[in-house]
Amino acid sequence: MSLIIIGTVAFDAIETPFGKTDKIVGGAATYAGLAASYFYNKVKIVAVVGDDFHKEDIETFEQHGIDTEGLQIKAGEKSFFWSGKYHNDMNSRDTLVTDLNVLADFDPVIPENYQDCEYLMLGNLTPQVQQTVIKRLKNRPKLIVMDTMNFWMDIAMDDLLETIKLVDVLTINDAEARQLSGEYSLVKAAKKILTMGPKYLIIKKGEHGALLFDENQIFSAPALPLAEVFDPTGAGDTFAGGFIGYMAKVGTVNFNNMKNAIIYGSALASFCVEKFGTEKILNLQEEDIAERVKEFVNLSSFTI
């Protein structure tokens, strides 16, 4: 049994008010895979890179017990590259460069040993590629989590709606929930989105935490107030990876387990933003995570 994560494995160049990086390894599958690996030891990624991707970078995955058989390496091609600059508030950013490169015609390959997939994380990619992965799995996974963004709502809404139909959990931010549903109230937005296919909706609100909805319940998770946000890149993917990794670990899909999965995902994301790129989430200890989760408990508990 395994957890498959599909998404980008890529190079990023990031500028924040605190500094800038050269090309560093990033991408949704990278962040989500690393985060998930802290909870579950059968994480497998599906992605594509060019031959500019270094052997050491692939070894980093393997050191975290992540199976890279589904990571295609295209000879003579270049990896996806994104470059962005964050504004002073760290909540908004300008994209400086987006070079699709190998991503332009990404055709995901599912190795035979990935067919034991029980948990599937569809990282942010074209909805059609996300759908292809679901169709290439012989058995429907027990839990499919899909992340997406406003960009696909703008240019590929029909494909997006087709893919959404097939998943269990959708993760989007509040502006995207409003765009997808046409409703301003998040309660109404959630109600509508839960008729589109997913049984659960997670609305990510960045520094304001996250909301989990099913048909009958709502859970409001806090975000840890941080003195410094060093680099927000990958925080959403880290959250999603921590979420599905924790779900794979506990093995039972229900609302209560998802509440905890959101706290664990948020804890991982709170580490992610403390350093540039993946630096902080490369070397977490179990105690670090337990300590951080305790901070979330203290932050939000009250007794009435």
126 within 8 A of 104, measured Cβ to Cβ: no
For residue 228, how many other CB atoms are within 10 A of its CB?
8
Under the criterion CB under 8 A, does residue 304 sit at the interface with a copy of itself? yes
Smallest distance from a copy of itself to CB 225, Å: 5
Smallest distance from a copy of itself to CB 256, Å: 8
- Opening angle at CA 110, ends 107 and 113, nearest 5: 165
Contacts with a copy of itself in 14-73 (CB under 8 A)? none
List 20's β-bridge partners, or say none: 15
Taking CB under 8 A as the binding criterion, the range among 29-37, 60-68, 84-92, 96-104 that sits at the site for a copy of itself is: 84-92
Quote the CA–CA distance of 284 and 102 in Å, as a whole number. Answer: 31
Binding mask 166-205 for a copy of itself (x = CB under 8 A): ------------------xxxxx--x-------------x
Closest to 48 (Cα-Cα) out of 20, 17, 79: 79
Question: Nearest 5°: phi and psi at 12?
Answer: -125, 145
Packing angle, helices 157-164 and 127-136, rounded to 10: 30
Contacts with a copy of itself in 202-261 (CB under 8 A)? 205, 207-209, 211, 217-223, 225-229, 256, 259-260
Binding mask 268-297 for a copy of itself (x = CB under 8 A): -------------------------x---x
Residues that bind a copy of itself (CB under 8 A): 88-90, 184-188, 191, 205, 207-209, 211, 217-223, 225-229, 256, 259-260, 263, 293, 297-304
